[in-house]
Amino acid sequence: MIPRYTPRAMGQLWSDAHRLQTMLDVELLVLQAQSRLGLVPASAVSAIRRKVRINLARVQQRETATRHDVIAFIEHLEEQVGPHGRYLHVGLTSSDILDTALAVLLTQATARLRLDLGRLLTALAAQARRHKRTLMIGRTHGVHAEPTTFGLKLAVCYDEFRRHQHRLAQAGEEIRVGKISGAVGTYANVDPRVEQQVCRALGLRPAPISTQVVQRDGHAAYLATLAVIGGSLEKLATEIRHLQRTEVREAEEPFGEGQKGSSAMPHKQNPITCERVTGLSRLLRGYAVAGLENIALWHERDISHSSVERVVLPDATIVLDYMLQTMTEVIRGLAVHPQRMQANLQSTQGVVYSGQVLLALMRQGLTRRKAYELVQRLALDAWRRERSFQALLLGDPGIRRHLTAAQVRRCLDPRAHLKHVDRIFRRVGLGS
């Protein structure tokens, strides 16, 4: 991922230096476990721990000759520890180190993403509670439907991202798997107890069964989960972009002091941050496809997945980290315009309450068809000719035969749409 979209902490997590250090941690834990089993002298383990250090430039230099990253890594360690180097990597295959280290890195990345999700949920909860009763028009098909509140709109997003917390935790658990089982997973040259001890020390679960690699269905599920979370971020960003349109102007993403919206038009305040989040979500969907294609490997293993994972796993976690942090700042700094919401709510002359009138007529004994035809005729007249829906209702003999003026006014009272707001908020965990 390019630096522009790489948060510092997540970028460091996926740096070559941290990756190699994690691989070293795995190698040292293997040595320690083998020492406990009497396979390696404790003095050798102590000497190796004391002497070995990662020199990234040296590893990269050796890899130009070996054309094999793990061999370059092991040779770099061997040249530091002298005769004790014969104890390194005994009975292992490259994927024992790579897959186990990858599980550690993904677990660390997942922990950061879970923190990000928590912060976004906190921001959504605060804004939802603040605007729990801020009336606005709800839209279906992009057309005015019935009143809702801005708080309810955000509460829907809050509930969605709560579900993502569970999904991410489950996906993270699936990839929290290490393996130290040898060339094709048979433990022919390494004691299974080594795997158990190493994984326990790293906070991983040993793979119940593996080939030369941990199977890639878990990694595919993980990438798919990140893509689904990205889809919800895109949904939230798209909603804000629509609300920021000039014709709507009900909410706007933050616009900082000194920020410029256009090189040609000084008046512009564009939803560029939300558009950026929308665009980056497309990357996550692409990474998910790559993860699915990595599941099918030849026999006990090939490396067609390797080159893909070196890109998509770091990039997917980095870009989602960036998207979550970015959208959290958008929600925290969101400019909300209740007066504009009220103006839009009233802009269609009251026809958005037609459903309430329909129900009131049906309670008075009219059939749905008869009531619908009666209300629709007046509603369309009000909308098309920009006339007051209430005045048309009160002046229509067909309506007045069944509803009093007070009943008509009650149908057009927006407060009727607020009566269950508190209950809904409690149901999604936003109650006081």
Contacts of 250 (CB under 8 A, 6+ apart): 136, 150, 243, 336, 337, 340, 341, 344
CB atoms within 10 A of CB 249: 16
Catalytic (active site) residue 305: no
CB-side exposure of 29: number of CA atoms within 13 Å? 25
Catalytic (active site) residue 94: no
DSSP 3-state of 178? strand
CA distance 128 to 428: 11
The strand pairing partners of 143, in sequence order, are 140
Beta strands in 343-414 (DSSP E): none
> Which of 176, 173, 129 minimizes the C-alpha distance to 155?
129
Question: Which DSSP letter does residue 205 get?
Answer: E
Report whether 169 contacts 114 (CB < 8 A): yes
CA distance 272 to 278: 10
- Tokens representing residue 400 in the block: 């007045």
Q: Which residue type sits at 358?
A: L
Candidates 15, 43, 262, 347; catalytic one: 262
- Tokens representing residue 82 in the block: 């002298």
CA distance 368 to 183: 72
DSSP 3-state of 227? helix
* Catalytically active residues, by annotation: 141, 262
